[in-house]
Amino acid sequence: MLLALHAGVSWGIDTPGARAFLLMHFGLFLLWQPLWRGEGEIEPRHAFLVIIVGVLLAALNNWWLTALWLAVLTGLIGGSVPAMGARRQRMVSLLATLYLLSLLLIWVVPHLSVSAPADFVTLTLVRYGLPTILVLILFLRIDLPRVETRIAVDLVYSVMLFLLVAALVLGSFVIMQLNQGQYAVALAQALMVIALVLIGLSWLWNPTAGFAGIEQLLSRYLLSVGLPFEQWVQHLAALAEREVEPRQFLDSALKHMLALPWIIGLRWETKTGFGQHGRLDKHFAEFSQGDLQLRIHTRWTLSPAMLLHLKLLAQMIGHFYAAKEREQLQRQNAYTQAIYETGSRLTHDVKNLLQSLRSLCSAAESSAPEQSGELQALMQRQLPQITQRLNTTLDKLRAPDIAETRLTSAAAWWPSLLQRYAHRNVTFALYGDLATHEVPAEVFDSIADNLIENALRKHPLREHLTAATPVAVTYVPAKSELQVADTGDAIPTGLAAKLFTAPVTSQSGLGVGLYHAAKHAAQAGFALTLADNRQGCVSFRLARKLHNIQ
């Protein structure tokens, strides 16, 4: 292509064979050009433009048109150099750019002025010296990649290089005409001015004086693609805070995208549904982000930069939508967890009440006829208490979020606890006066029953426990402290660390009794702890929380 250009220009564009060489050059350019793919169909308007350019280049004997064409070629070839990774391939483009600039500045620009005829040295250099650059290109071997790659034209670099070449040509021409001087001096002056301008721009591009340079301003503009990106993200975040349901958030966010001037329609699809907004056209791009399938329709064919920008917008909406789905799932899990915890805690309360009823039934079955008076008195004392505790349990089932702590006289609560376990292998010890103290009866009853039943359950499972009273209950009214101890095996260290913080594995239940007991105690201002954990002595303590005062 460049050799045909050289043959058509270096001997003059008005020679008989120049038009043929220029037409051949333009045909080779169409084979080389990086603008359209060879297998793609060219639209009629583009084909008409190609024909017009070819006719003008081959038919008109105009040096200005030739200078413009050389500047365009310089921008196309030189603008792709930064994107090239192979050193030899980059060298080929640099040599081609050097040839085009040399031909433009040494040969074409002087012909723009009638008063600047070419001498013999210039003719020899142009016609026989410049082709050596093209010959060097022939000897540079380039390793072709196994997979066909195509270097796209960088619009910004190409336009900048074209403008620099145009400024250099026009500047030198204007200086030569105004000063009526030699072309070499005018070209040197134009080069100096352009060099100073480039030095100033390079400093403004990334200054060190503490303020933002042109690089940041230009990058911010190019990344926004006509959209105030920060404002759009801020609106998306505010929408995520305002909308609770994922579908409503997605619908509102996509409607907001229609405010962009280059988007005319949207279609989306998720696992739970689909929808569309605006008008659907033939120009569209499809994006996938998690469960979200998004198709964005635009007014025109999307460029690579626009595709990248749309992909970023789709990813952000997809991430926010996925976050909304996770929030919804967490709310459902929290609701299910609350139901599970309420049910499991009340299950333990019902089990304790059932155990009390079994104790009464056992006492009734084993009593003799002459003990009917004592049995009746026991029933009169225990049944109202069991009925009251059952009503409390049902109240908690109806309104599990309402935690009400009722205080009862310790003088009434402690004998009631003794009566419930009067026929069980449990010893009780009281240290202090009951008259002037109160306890949260519902909390103490639930936790005491849980601890005592757990301790009694260990007795028949171990044959070596032969103590007459394996469970001991101690109460200190002045400290509101209740302690339950048994003579069973020590709790393993790993299991003891999780007793009050998470459900544990249990062979006789759900493994959540002590976990809920600790939470129940904490709601009432008490703390349930493992006071002692030794072989033959395992003790649990329920006491008021100690608050550190700073």
Tell me: do 209 and 226 sit in the same domain: no
pLDDT for position 408: 83
Q: What would the mean pLDDT of 59-88 be, rounded to a whole number?
A: 84
- The DSSP annotation for 336-362 comes to HHHHHHHHHHHHHHHHHHHHHHHHHHH
pLDDT for position 524: 84
pLDDT digits (tens, 9 = 90+) for 405-427: 678 888 888 888 887 777 778 89
Tell me: do 463 and 494 sit in the same domain: yes
In a domain, 415, yes or no: yes
Is it the case that residue 3 has pLDDT exceeding 90? yes
Give 466's contacts (C-beta < 8 A, 6+ positions apart): none
Number of independent structural domains in the chain? 3
Angle (nearest 5°) at CA 112 between 30 and 10: 50
Specify which residues 539 forms β-bridges with.
485, 532
Tell me: do 105 and 72 sit in the same domain: yes
Domain span including residue 249: 222-335
pLDDT band, residue 95 (cuts 50/70/90)? very high
Tell me: do 87 and 207 sit in the same domain: yes
Tell me: do 447 and 525 sit in the same domain: yes
Query: What CATH number does residue 439 fall under?
Result: 3.30.565.10
**CA 282, CA 300: separation in Å to the nearest integer?**
9
Structural element, H or E, at residue 286: strand 284-289
> In the listed set 217, 243, 274, which residue is the last one of a domain according to the structure?
217
In a domain, 348, yes or no: no
**CA 418, CA 425: separation in Å to the nearest integer?**
11
Specify which residues 293 forms β-bridges with.
269, 288
pLDDT for position 314: 85
pLDDT digits (tens, 9 = 90+) for 126-150: 999 999 999 998 888 776 655 455 5
Tell me: do 171 and 134 sit in the same domain: yes
